[in-house]
Structure 1
Amino acid sequence: MENFVQEYTKKLIELLESLEVKVLKEIQQSLENTLKNNSKIYIIGNGGSAATASHMANDLSVGLKLRDIRNFNVESLSDNSAVCTAIANDIGYDNIFYAQLKNKISKNDLLIAISCSGNSTNILKAVEYAKQQGTTIVGMTGFDGGKLKELADIKFHIATQKGEYGLVEDMHMILDHILYSYYISLKPETKSTYTME
């Protein structure tokens, strides 16, 4: 166990040190563009990446709004189990994100797609549809990046051995916390403006 922990943390530190600040700035600017355009941020992911999508939606929407820092319009498309299971049951799991975006997402919106392998069929179908609409795609990937890395306009790629889900998902979550903490740092004295009366 001790050797494993040392090796894991060593790899994680190496990945952190390899982060490209330029890419983080591009992602942050793409978020800002949705405010300028009065548009929406959609986030999609399966499994652990669905949890990351939910966490990002929480941090970037309510987390910042309650502190009067930013009022991003963010939705994680994994969050409504009734919608996801209805689509999966009626027309197939590959459509759970595409069907939610169809005739809804626009060129001024932003789609953040999270997939460790970069090859999840339901992610790719949604991304390909969004690209047809002219939507900017942020691809959060791992391993060799898969097809999502090729399709993404902004590539947050964590290069690891295939199957190192823990490290990739750690880094994806760290991206969320970097973005959130950056915005909090713009107004460090601010706590939630909402109080229980």
Structure 2
Amino acid sequence: MNFTSFIDEYLEHLNRVLRALDKNELEKLEHLLGSLGEDQRVYIIGNGGSAATASHMVNDFGVGLKRRGKLNITAVALADNLASCSAIANDTGYDNIFYLQLKNVLRAHDVLIAISCSGTSPNIIKAVRYAKEKGATVVGFSGFDGGELNTLSDIVLHAKTEPGEYGIVEDVHMVINHLLYSWFIQKGPVL
């Protein structure tokens, strides 16, 4: 196979996975984001490339939409605090890096967006279980077979792929971010 053929196959595969997304779940997330109150917080968690997606989502939802007078979302990407993540990992274990940042801070009316390609990352699942105990809404961005994250989430955005297709899953998660961001931009003034 040459590179041009690979490009065509990759883009066709990405398109198939995007088209298979559950539009009802996308509508639920759009409604949730559009109806957040000023006292609600959105915490976003992910590892590796998913941590980068979490940061990007905070930029788009927490800054971009606010700056343009569209939505007033207070969003925090918990992987962005390197000092906290490394201290927690060193002192109590990597499984706690998100859970301990949420402990006694997350409230029942807040939202946790958990991003995990496998849907099985122990630190993600521990934080999601804590959020469920607190009564917060959990939005799961997953891939592969969805793992436990799909089962625990109130809103499931699942990019169904073969295990190990990180690039496709991460692409889909970023498209969802930009799809929602672009929707709120074109929707007109909200604030």
TM-score range, shorter chain: over 0.9
Kept after mapping to 1: 8 A contact 2:18/2:159: no
Q: CA deviation at 1:69?
A: 1.0
Q: What does residue range 1-197 of structure 1 map to in structure 2 within 5 Å?
A: 1-35=3-37, 38-187=39-188
Q: CA deviation at 1:19?
A: 2.6
Q: CA deviation at 1:4?
A: 1.7
Q: CA deviation at 1:148?
A: 0.5
Kept after mapping to 2: 8 A contact 1:34/1:41: no
Q: Which runs of 4+ in 1 moved over 6 A?
A: none
Q: What percentage of aligned pairs have identical amino acids?
A: 53
Q: CA deviation at 1:186?
A: 1.8
Give the match's secondary structure for 2:61.
helix
Q: Deviations over 1:118-158 (max 9, x none)?
A: 00000000000110001110000000000101111110001
- Gap runs ≥5 in structure 2: none
> How many residues end up aligned between the 2 structures?
187
> Aligned Cα RMSD in Å?
1.2
Letter of the structure 2 residue corresponding to residue 137 of structure 1: V
Letter of the structure 1 residue corresponding to residue 8 of structure 2: Q
Give the match's secondary structure for 1:113.
strand
Q: Deviations over 1:89-137 (max 9, x none)?
A: 1111110000000011011000000000000000000000110001110
- Gap runs ≥5 in structure 1: 189-197
Letter of the structure 2 residue corresponding to residue 15 of structure 1: V
Letter of the structure 2 residue corresponding to residue 121 of structure 1: P
Q: CA deviation at 1:21?
A: 2.0
Letter of the structure 2 residue corresponding to residue 22 of structure 1: N
* Separation of aligned partners in 1, 2:187 and 2:35: 18
Q: Deviations over 1:22-78 (max 9, x none)?
A: 11110111223422x721000000000000000001000110111111110100001
